[in-house]
Amino acid sequence: MAERSDPVRYGDYLATAGGCKECHTPQVKGQPVAGMELAGGFEFGFPDGGVARSQNLTPDPATGIGGWNEEFFVRRFKVYADPAYVDPEAKSFGRQTPMPWRMFAHMTDDDLKALYAYLRSVKPIRNAVSAFTPAR
């Protein structure tokens, strides 16, 4: 495990352990697309035929998290730890997400800041992702 004193290396460790790299990298025939690490586009098929895609986590300002600051990144997770938060009702139509927000919401602020530091250190990749395609 990486030392917590090096936020970028520790964030890399967390991104690996948490599955961020697998779920946020597109695949072709079960293999990650080289050069597209963390650029989003991994597809999650739903039983009704809809498809959700992971978002671009690279620091690209147009299509990734390049416009996010550390505080916004941490809050994006922490909102799901609030006991007052209620999950929206899942429907067979409309946008769906496979992101396990509640699972990661209880990470410490320092862990989320390290994850953010790591994501800011990776190569920005311009990759606009269509987040959800409903069943036809």
CA 7 to chain centre: 18
In tens, the pLDDT along 4-53 reads 999 999 999 999 999 999 999 999 999 999 999 999 999 999 888 889 99
The domain locations on the chain are: 7-133
What are the beta bridge partners of residue 106? none
In tens, the pLDDT along 70-114 reads 999 999 999 999 888 887 776 655 666 789 999 999 999 999 999
Determine whether 9 is exposed, middle or buried from the number of CB atoms within 10 Å of its CB (0-12, 13-18, 19+): middle
In tens, the pLDDT along 121-133 reads 999 999 999 999 9
Q: What is the pLDDT of residue 93?
A: 57
Asked if 68 and 110 touch (Cβ cutoff 8 Å), the reply is: no
Cut 0.85: pTM above it: yes
